[in-house]
Amino acid sequence: MKTALTIAGSDSSGGAGIQADLKTFSALGVFGMSVITAITAQNTCGVTNIRELDEEIIADQIAAVYDDIPVGAVKVGMLSSAEITRVVAGALVKHGAANVVVDPVMVAKSGSRLLKVEAVEALIQFLFPIADVVTPNLHEAAEIVGFPVGNRASMERAAIAIKAMGPKYVVVKGGHLPGAACDLFYDGKEFAYLTNERIETKHTHGTGCTFSSAIAAGLAKRMPVFEAVAVAKRYITVAISHGFSLGKGVGPTHHFYELYSQAGVVGDGE
Ligand SMILES: Nc1ncnc2c1ncn2[C@@H]1O[C@H](COP(=O)(O)OP(=O)(O)O)[C@@H](O)[C@H]1O
Ligand SMILES: Cc1ncc(COP(=O)(O)O)c(N)n1
């Protein structure tokens, strides 16, 4: 059985964070494990409270998993603070983590901050150098590089600047661009665009979490990185096209094994 670990925040409404990650792992036929960094009181309308866990229990969760179970890939999501970021990076180094996907989660779709402004520097300093893939959206890319990112030319400049911070691959997500949903993949040499038609829906809660977990699932299945990203792009497109209205606000993406096997996104799940 292939395994993947998510290190992220809990979303009580089940659409994003740890919950979206575990649903994605399951739908893609990978055994999911989780380390919780923070608990959000959250629903489709927004985040009403955040409680960070202390660094000791975060490090102990990571040790409990790595000391016992082979981890095929790890996805890192919400880290909340600079201290948590440092502890997670240190633990991943200590345990020799491989196939590290970092989704630099900063702000929820509803506008609440999920990573303190002063923690962005720690993310760049401690986690980017050990990341295989980093997956910023346009807003996160801009906050990381310090210039606006809003079209293909600036996405390419941002990808080059982020690559120089240490990750092996960068995917700048263009979900917030006008027009097609166009993501930029950069390996340090060439750019490749992964493009799908924009799906007209407001139900996009958890899209970034789902996409980065799907990449981790592909890496856990030992796919080459570009293939894992391409499969994740197909997965997120199907997940958004079956997104649905739940609650009063922004509904979630859909994760259902049968759907993905019919769409040819997953095999037999090994
Ligand atoms: N309306 C949409 N239609 C199709 N794909 C989308 C749509 N919105 C986002 N995506 C895709 O979903 C993934 C997550 O992107 P994005 O929304 O930019 O990230 P985040 O959730 O971190 O803000 C990307 O592959 C992006 O292209
Ligand atoms: C706990 C948690 N983690 C991450 C997100 C970002 O969600 P999205 O994938 O919609 O950007 C979120 N809303 N809550």
* 211-229 pLDDT tens trace: 999 999 999 999 999 999 9
Residue 269 lies in a domain: no
Residue 19, number of CB atoms within 10 A of its CB: 22
Q: Is this complex scored with an ipTM above 0.85?
A: yes
Residue 109 lies in a domain: yes
Concerning whether 182 is annotated as a catalytic residue, the answer is no
What is the number of structural domains in the chain? 1
Map tokens 């985040």 to a residue. Answer: 47
Concerning whether 204 is annotated as a catalytic residue, the answer is yes
Find out whether the beta carbon of 14 lies less than 6 Å from any atom of ligand 2.
no
CATH number at residue 44: 3.40.1190.20
Concerning whether 90 is annotated as a catalytic residue, the answer is no
In the predicted structure, residue 261 carries a pLDDT above the cut 90 = no
The string of pLDDT tens digits covering residues 56-81 is 999 999 999 999 999 999 999 999 99
Q: Output the residue whose Cα is nearest ligand 1's atom 5.
A: 181
d(CA 235, CA 211): 8
In this predicted structure, what is the pLDDT of residue 269?
A: 47
Find out whether the beta carbon of 37 lies less than 6 Å from any atom of ligand 2.
no
Q: What are phi and psi of 246, to 5 degrees?
A: -145, 130
The string of pLDDT tens digits covering residues 185-210 is 999 999 999 999 999 999 999 999 99
Range(s) of the domain holding residue 34: 3-262
Residue 14 lies in a domain: yes
Edge-first strand listing for the sheet containing 3-11: 46-52, 31-43, 3-11, 73-76, 100-102, 133-134, 169-172, 181-186, 191-196
**β-strand 100-102 against 3-11: which pairing, if any?**
unpaired
CA–centroid distance, residue 247 to ligand 2 (Å): 16
Concerning whether 29 is annotated as a catalytic residue, the answer is no
Please give the average per-residue pLDDT across 89-105, as a whole number: 98
The overall average pLDDT reported for the chain is 96
d(CA 214, CA 230): 10
Residue 268 lies in a domain: no
Q: What share of the chain is helix, strand, coil (3-state, %, to 5)?
A: 40, 25, 35
Q: Which atom of ligand 2 is nearest to the CA of 9?
A: 1
CB of 199 closer than 8 Å to CB of 172: no
Higher pLDDT, 254 or 70: 70
Residue 245 lies in a domain: yes
E strand or H helix at 157: helix 152-163
Q: Output the residue whose Cα is nearest ligand 2's atom 6.
A: 108
Residue 10 lies in a domain: yes
Residue 181 lies in a domain: yes
Closest CA to 266 of 211, 206, 217: 217
**Region for 200 from its dihedrals, namely left if φ exceeds 0, alpha if ψ lies in -120 to 50, beta otherwise:** beta
Residue 112 lies in a domain: yes
In this predicted structure, what is the pLDDT of residue 263?
A: 80
In this predicted structure, what is the pLDDT of residue 267?
A: 67
